[in-house]
Amino acid sequence: MTRSLRILMLASAAIAQAGAAETPLSIKPSFRLGDAGVLCTAQVRPTDTRLTGIFDRAYLLTCRDAAGPIGSAIAVRRALDTAREPSAVSAVTTTCGVEESANIDRVGTVRAIHCRDEAAGIDYRRYSVQQGDTSYLVEGLAGYDPALKLALASLVTDRAQSGAVQVATTEVSDPAAFARVQAGALDPAGVRSEAYIRNNAGRFAESAEFFESLVGRSASEPASLAEALVNQGLQQSNLGNFAGAERLLARAEAASPQGDGVMQRLIRNYRAINQLNQHHWNEAVAALAVTVPPVAEVEDADRIREGLITPPLSLAINRDSASGQEVADVGNQLTPAERGAILDAQAMELRGIALRQQGQLADSEAQLTEAQAKILRVRDGRVHSANWLISEIQVERALVAEARGDRSSAIGAFDAAIAALAEVFPESPALLSAKARKAGYLVRSGDSAGGRALFDEVVAGGASIADSGTVLRNLLGPYFDLLARDGSSEAAASMFRASQLLQRPGVAQTQAILARQYSAGNDEGSALFRLALARTREIVRQDSEIRRLEALPERTAGDELALTTGKSSLEALRAEQVKLQAQLNDYPRYKVLSSQTVELAEMQAALRSGEGYYKLMVVGDELYALMASQQAARALKLGTTASAIASNVTALRNSIVRIENGEAVTEPFEVERARGLYVTLFGPVDSEVRALKHLVFEPDGPMLQLPPSLLPATQAGVDAYKARAAKSDADAFDFTGVDWLGRGREVSISVSPRSFLDMRSIAPSRARQAYLGLGENAVAFTRPVAAVADECDWPIAMWQIPIPADELRVAEARFGDAQSDLITGAAFNDSALLGSGEQLDQYRVLHFATHGLVTSPRPDCPPRPALVTSFAPNGSDGLLSFREIFDLKLDADVVILSACDTAGSATAAVSREAGIATGGNYALDGLVRAFVGAGARSVVASHWPVPEQYDATKRLIGGMVDAQPGQALADALEKSQVRLMDDPKTSHPFYWAAFIILGDGAKPLIPTTAVASAGVKPAAK
């Protein structure tokens, strides 16, 4: 089990105030606006030019999904003119009305002015009030008026005010994406502070974004760069990327001054944590034994504040870096010696963890006791920012007590850990983690009722706390065990709810955005929504390019020009996107927030007679499942592990097809192994599954890479195959008679309960044309000069064996000339598709039959998913890339990808290149996600190279498109698959099982509406 460990806030120390109540906002670096609705925050902006005195404060206001600030606020000790005070968010000239009075809750009567940018058609608002000798002003986009009013109320009262921010949102960004926007609104000191705060609160994904932003800004400052890199390294370790973590730690060590005792301690500790996260206990102890330079002694702290300059402090102060001087500042902050003392205490804690894992309990307890004592000696234990470390120590002491059988001490230590975090990080993933650890202990020690109640509390809190899934993923196993043993419908509902905390970002998030876009069909609002999404992707792309240029060790004049131009372009894009977001407020449907958590009862109500939803869940290395129908639901623990399933999936895929020397090689399918996998996954609910007409399967872990339809549902057919195959003249590739799960059942693939319900309820396409077929690229023997990019290009041979357009012509004939079009040969090129403008969204069904590229051309090249097209006459790369697919404008009910392994993944890096800030690295996150993002409600995709032998793919797809109006897409695919199952030549799963339907397969390929079915020829008999 990976144990995510947190990090030490170097820049400052929050000092506890005895008997203090809620911390005033005036001393906080940021705070939330309201407590419900869209997440908006105010972040200190010390560089604001409107500040003239030491008591003045300024803030930028940011809201989730807006790519830049939506407003600003100031509190100044001077009189101000509401209309003439400069703006921090708009450089355009606006026309303002007369000053009026308005009433704002918890403030009273204020001055208000409405302004308008006539050229852009954008409205702005300003509110101001004076109380005592302080003047307060908020200003920003009128579409975010609720956030502006809450900001003013919070500033005036110096307390966070409750209230809902009901503004338009695309829900395109997750917490990490919003963190990137927030980081862009802060100066480096603010970014560093927020990065540590989020990390210590357990918000690892958000913290990673802040540190990544810091790396880009610190390239010329070695000490600051080292600090950012070392923290990036720990984030990667906490997320399971151990090799990447070590590379970043090595870069940090190379960048850090060797005499910097604080930074060297940080690197030492983080190397040890990276080893602990891998369960390398001895290696962790060795990492902690590395000698590091000394720092000023703790007893020198008072003299340092009085002016003593010690050699280590002199080195820090004299770094050629403003950031370095800031880190070394000792005014109200921790001195280098104090930071060194806390880091040494952390090292003791880490050594204690390793010793406990090795069974050395007494030595572990001694290390943990001394670690806590060392922390409490720093400023008499009043360093609030070290509470997270005290909490970690208490959790470890609890685990030592558990190992000794000392229940009382264990409970006390867990409670102390929870109390330490509740004081400084309420409503945080870190606090949920501490509670989950205690709950797990209660279950292990026999208090199942107490453990379950506390786990229920954790799950309820996690639903409203962003980024909680990362820290809880490996802690919910005992809870799931309890629920599976319970077996009741109430336990199933609890497991269903808890499992959604573990949902990874990816195609599910993209489906949710698509559903929101088309919540009222394809109208002007959806077009504006799409434009806002496009600008968001452009911003991510531009930001990634800027970070790449900033990270270059040396930049040419061309690089400098590109960097300057890119930054200017980024600011313009952000401003445009924010204005688009504000305009979406004209469409009330985009102000409605959809709950991401689906209750089991809601899912059951959406299921129809004969339908079942099977959800597979990986928790740690354990496997759980939930089977739900209209009338019943069961939670299960499966008798295997994720590792064992992974081995079986790999073996099965290899027996279906593997690539050797560029050729697809098929072996006799391991049908007995497949039957065993069916029994493992579906055995406990076998009768329910075999009675279904439509199975909605939500895979997790290894099963993301295998269609469930190829698992034998009964033993008789397997036994018959074995008996037949034992004969000397047997055809080992003849699997006729096997009772596959996909025989007689429709199968849809879901990636989350919410996304399935979204796709079930989404409005259908309004396209007037039925079908567009694309494929059979023009043969090319040389690459156009303009298309040559780098050594990672695919060989030209990829363009010399195009996929024949036979299946496209079959489909074209089925839909009829009046309702269908075909684009093949030279006309099928990437430039033409990208320049098609409004045309592609006029087709309900798009069908690509071409080569799919989902791997990399060479081991040292990154994989970039793409579809092969012809080269354009004016020069192109002959590829419709992952990024370019996202930019297509579709309004499709179904996209068919008849190409190789189109259900594969895209890396997080490739996703970022495409302007997608989150997700990646999992199956279905590649081409499937790109087409969903482009506007496909359902995608038919393949899990391996599609076969041409025996016209298998032509027959399969041809049979599917032969559907009757109103016939379910999944039913049409199943009936086509059965015809291949019953043919000895194509009965091997290689020929019929590759394709899956992501989406709601119960929806028809050909709707029964007059427009959709007009001109469609009768299905073949």
**Tens digits of residue pLDDT in 928-971:** 999 999 999 999 999 998 888 999 999 999 999 999 999 999 99
If you count them, how many residues does the chain have?
1021
Q: Identify the top-confidence range among 33-47, 182-196, 762-776.
A: 762-776
Q: What is the pLDDT of residue 596?
A: 78
Query: In the chain, what are the domain boundaries?
Result: 28-181, 607-749, 762-1013
State the pLDDT confidence band at 1020, using cuts at 50, 70 and 90: low
Q: What is the pLDDT of residue 670?
A: 97
Q: Identify the top-confidence range among 112-126, 154-168, 733-747, 869-883.
A: 733-747
Query: Who wins on pLDDT, 16 or 204?
Result: 204
d(CA 642, CA 632): 26
Residue 766: is its pLDDT beyond 50?
Answer: yes
Q: What is the pLDDT of residue 387?
A: 81
Query: What percentage of the chain carries pLDDT values higher than 70?
Result: 89
pLDDT (tens digit, 9 = 90+) per residue, 849-881? 999 988 888 877 878 899 999 998 877 889 999
pLDDT (tens digit, 9 = 90+) per residue, 7-30? 444 444 444 443 345 678 888 878
Burial group, residue 302, by CB count within 10 angstroms (0-12, 13-18, 19+): exposed
State the pLDDT confidence band at 793, using cuts at 50, 70 and 90: confident
Q: Residue 20's Cα: distance from chain center in Å?
A: 38
Residue 240: is its pLDDT beyond 80?
Answer: no
d(CA 170, CA 535): 12
pLDDT (tens digit, 9 = 90+) per residue, 441-488? 999 999 999 999 999 999 999 988 877 888 898 899 999 999 999 999
- Asked whether the CA dihedral 312, 315, 317, 322 is positive or negative, the reply is negative
Burial group, residue 185, by CB count within 10 angstroms (0-12, 13-18, 19+): buried
Pairing of strands 820-825, 769-777: parallel
Q: What is the pLDDT of residue 401?
A: 96
Residue 525: is its pLDDT beyond 50?
Answer: yes
Q: What is the pLDDT of residue 297?
A: 55
Q: What is the pLDDT of residue 315?
A: 34
Q: Is 151 in contact with 565 (CB distance < 8 Å)? A: no
Query: Who wins on pLDDT, 223 or 45?
Result: 45
pLDDT (tens digit, 9 = 90+) per residue, 487-516? 999 999 999 999 999 887 788 888 888 888
Residue 326: is its pLDDT beyond 50?
Answer: no
Q: What is the pLDDT of residue 18?
A: 37
pLDDT (tens digit, 9 = 90+) per residue, 329-345? 323 367 888 889 999 99
- Which class does domain 762-1013 fall in? alpha beta
What are φ and ψ of residue 636, in 5° steps? -135, 145
Q: What is the pLDDT of residue 1014?
A: 57
pLDDT (tens digit, 9 = 90+) per residue, 635-661? 999 999 999 999 999 999 999 988 777
Cα-only R_g, the chain: 30
Residue 672: is its pLDDT beyond 90?
Answer: yes
d(CA 71, CA 128): 13
d(CA 527, CA 520): 11
Residue 148: is its pLDDT beyond 60?
Answer: yes
Q: Identify the top-confidence range among 163-172, 649-658, 663-672.
A: 649-658
pLDDT (tens digit, 9 = 90+) per residue, 975-1003? 999 999 999 999 999 999 999 999 999 99
Which CA distances in Å does 88 have to 72, 541, 590, 945? 6, 25, 27, 54
Q: What is the pLDDT of residue 903?
A: 83
Q: What is the pLDDT of residue 635?
A: 97
Mean pLDDT taken over the chain: 86
Q: What is the pLDDT of residue 984?
A: 96
Mean pLDDT for 917-922 is: 73
Mean pLDDT for 156-174 is: 84
Place of tokens 């099982």: 993
Residue 314: is its pLDDT beyond 90?
Answer: no
Residue 1011: is its pLDDT beyond 90?
Answer: no
d(CA 479, CA 496): 12
Of the candidates 304, 365, 297, the residue with the CA atom closest to the CA atom of residue 331 = 304
Of the candidates 471, 520, 480, the residue with the CA atom closest to the CA atom of residue 499 = 480
CA angle in degrees (0–180, nearest 5) for 872-878-883:
115
State the pLDDT confidence band at 523, using cuts at 50, 70 and 90: confident
Q: What is the pLDDT of residue 21?
A: 52
Residue 207: is its pLDDT beyond 80?
Answer: no
Mean pLDDT for 406-424 is: 93
Q: What is the pLDDT of residue 298?
A: 43
End-to-end CA distance of the chain: 56
